[in-house]
Amino acid sequence: MKVVIIDDEPLARMLVKEYLQVYPQVEIMEECGDGFDGLKAIQKYQPDLIFLDIQMPKINGFEMLELVENPPAVIFTTAFDEFAIKAFETHAIDYLLKPFSKERFDKAMQKYSLQNATSNKVQTQSLLDTASQSHSEHRVVVKDGVKIKIIPLQQIQYLEAADDYVKIHTAEGIFLKKKTMQFFENGLPAQQFVRIHRSYIVAVSLINKIDHNEKDSYLLLLSTGTKLPVSKSGYIKLKEILGL
Amino acid sequence: MAQSPFFTGKFTRVFIAWWLIWFALQALLLYWEGFGWRIAIIDSIVFNFFTAAACWLVTFTFQFYLPRQERFWYILTLSITLSLCIVFLSRWVLQLTVDDNIIYLTMLKNWLPIRFGIALLMIGCMSMISVLWYTFQDQQETENRRTTAQSLKKEAELIALRRQLQPHFLFNSLNSISALVGTKPEEARKMIQQLSDFLRGTIKKENEQSVLLSEELMHLQLYLDIEKLRFGDRLNTIVTTGEDIGKMKLPALILQPVVENAIKFGLYDTTENVTIIITCRIENNNLSITVSNPYDPETAQSQKGEGFGLSSVKRRLYLLFARTDLVETQALNKIFITTIKIPQQI
């Protein structure tokens, strides 16, 4: 059984390692100090289980998980207070609140081994959907080739649906994220972003002009010069948010 | 701005009653002297009206301008000038109104010094009352500000303990201790000691208004040592102080939130090793403390502003010193610098 430990505090990693000593089937592939190394290790070793801290440098545990293609089973190790983590209780394999005892740790391991691999993965996926919605930071994390790019929300001009992906348009270029439009519509702050069309979400601050196109159809002009179609329901939402 | 005493209805009522009594006394006096009711009443109305107006004017002026130095001379000059004005103004008005009684007019001229004396006395008294009133108001305002500052400090401490120490600092530290117990029990014991000393210091300082810099730095060192144990090689700190600076004073628990902010900012905004530099020096009789940490200008905007730490420090310093320029932040080439200035009481 392959395991990766991701935590920015060396002593915290040491503790997990120590607790894992009594499990002969466990093979610790790598210990990582941040999400970037964590992501690389997960891609390299395809572990069965990861121990993941939430508060970490640059990108947090949730943001790292979002970037993993086929996320493994996760046990969170965190000092977050219980309220913050309660929402994910039903989705994660388990979460260990620091400091945790050996007994508590063994219980989490037991829970993991009782469930089969598929159900574990399903859980991680549904965890992610919950996590990013209630945990939306002021930014979006994407993979740009091999690099990880952090996009602050104010740099996003508009989002465009593209099959399984969403294209994120910024002044620096276009970035792809494997998510649905629904995911972004729920996650982004409603005062700053509005969904004007099945395939488009725009930043409210960039709206320049709404043009009447044909009968019952409108075009939105952004201050960057981009023109986007507006659907009927999108027009109603636009009118509401702009106070027309 | 201070409130005028006339704002309270009671004061205004006493003021009016006072002048009615004086008006009656003066009119009666003149009547008994044999000037007849008409002259007695006109004379009393004119003189007392002008004096009352001058008294009101003094109070009104002091509301907007009351010098801190040479206050006595300012009041005396103002009173004399106003009294002279009243005497001559009232004489002029009375001369025009009552022009048929020679005895009265002679009396008016001869009694000028007495009228002057009365006016001066009245205005002087009113000035005294006003000065006392406004000084009292000023003191009360300072007192209010101090109590707010105190309660805010308490609040800040509670929030700091609850929100910052508990979930992240405290629990993570305990987790580190738990890790050390198995392999390095000696170090675990040392860390428990440091953590206890740090917490004890925090609780003790709740009751103190200002502390010596040397004390605060000792307390800070405990905090830094614990953080270094937690983050290992990633965290370096450099603390430099000028000579003789340990005697400087600063508000209790003001430095730690700033450093905590810098550490958080530095550790969670970059993945490299982080050096936090803390410099203390004297600058124009102010204690100036600079805390610098590395940061990433590209992603920093997305962080949640200055965080609770800095804004509470700013607010506390404002309440203590009534200045808003004591906390400054600046970003220089991937280094974020926070400077706080603590004015030293002479």
- Report which secondary-structure segment, H or E, holds A121: helix A117-134
Which residue ranges of chain A lie beneath pLDDT 70?
81-92, 116-137
Quote the minimal CA–CA distance from B169 to chain A in Å. Answer: 9
pLDDT value for B300: 60
Distances (CA, A) of B278 to A89, B21, B78, B263, B324: 41, 70, 54, 11, 22
**CB contact B139 to A (< 8 Å):** no
Q: Is A95 helix (H, G, I), strand (E, B) or coil?
A: strand
Instruction: Test A9 with B298 for CB contact under 8 angstroms.
Output: no
pLDDT value for B68: 75
**CB contact B228 to A (< 8 Å):** no
Instruction: Test A15 with B302 for CB contact under 8 angstroms.
Output: no
Query: Which residues in chain A touch residue B179, judged by CB atoms under 8 angstroms apart?
Result: 11-12, 14-15, 18
- Report which secondary-structure segment, H or E, holds B38: helix B36-64
Instruction: Test B269 with A14 for CB contact under 8 angstroms.
Output: no
Query: Which residues in chain A touch residue B174, judged by CB atoms under 8 angstroms apart?
Result: 98-99
pLDDT value for B17: 93
Q: What is the mean pLDDT of each run of 10 residues along chain B (346 residues)?
A: 77 91 92 87 91 91 81 88 92 85 85 91 91 88 87 68 61 92 92 92 74 90 91 91 84 85 85 91 90 81 55 79 87 89 82
Please give the distance of CA A45 from its chain centroid, rounded to a whole number: 21
**CB contact B304 to A (< 8 Å):** yes
Locate the chain B residue with the closest alpha carbon to A137: B302
pLDDT value for B304: 46
Query: Which residues in chain A touch residue B182, judged by CB atoms under 8 angstroms apart?
Result: 15, 18
Report yes or no on whether pTM surpasses 0.80: no
DSSP symbol at A53: -
Query: Which residues in chain B touch residue A12, judged by CB atoms under 8 angstroms apart?
Result: 172, 175-176, 179
Nearest CA to A85 out of A114, A62, A58 is that of: A62
- For B201-268, give the DSSP string: HHHHHTT-SEEEHHHHHHHHHHHHHHHHHHHGGGEEEEEEE-TT-TT-EEETTSHHHHHHHHHHHHHH
Locate the chain A residue with the closest alpha carbon to B303: A138
Quote the minimal CA–CA distance from A236 to chain B in Å. Answer: 30
pLDDT value for B207: 65
Q: Which residues make Cβ contacts (< 8 Å) with residue A240, sequence separation at least 6?
A: none
Q: State the Cα–Cα distance between residues A187 and A198, nearest whole angstrom.
A: 16
Instruction: Test B271 with A58 for CB contact under 8 angstroms.
Output: yes
Identify whether the C-beta of residue B201 lies closer than 8 Å to the C-beta of residue B221: no
Instruction: Test B171 with A79 for CB contact under 8 angstroms.
Output: yes
**Selected residue of A7, A8, A9, A11 to mutate for chain B interface (largest B Cβ count, 10 A):** A11
User: What token pair was written down for B108?
Assistant: 């008016």
Instruction: Test B175 with A15 for CB contact under 8 angstroms.
Output: yes
User: Does the complex come out with an ipTM higher than 0.85?
Assistant: no
Quote the minimal CA–CA distance from B165 to chain A in Å. Answer: 11
pLDDT value for B18: 92
Query: Which residues in chain B touch residue A81, judged by CB atoms under 8 angstroms apart?
Result: 166-167
Locate the chain A residue with the closest alpha carbon to B184: A11
| Beta strands in B126-215, from DSSP E residues, in sequence order | 210-212
Identify whether the C-beta of residue B272 lies closer than 8 Å to the C-beta of residue B308: no
Locate the chain A residue with the closest alpha carbon to B263: A57
- For B224-241, give the DSSP string: HHHHHHHHGGGEEEEEEE
- Report which secondary-structure segment, H or E, holds A34: none
Locate the chain A residue with the closest alpha carbon to B265: A57
pLDDT value for A141: 86
Quote the minimal CA–CA distance from B177 to chain A in Å. Answer: 8
Give chain B's count of helices (H) and strands (E). 11, 7
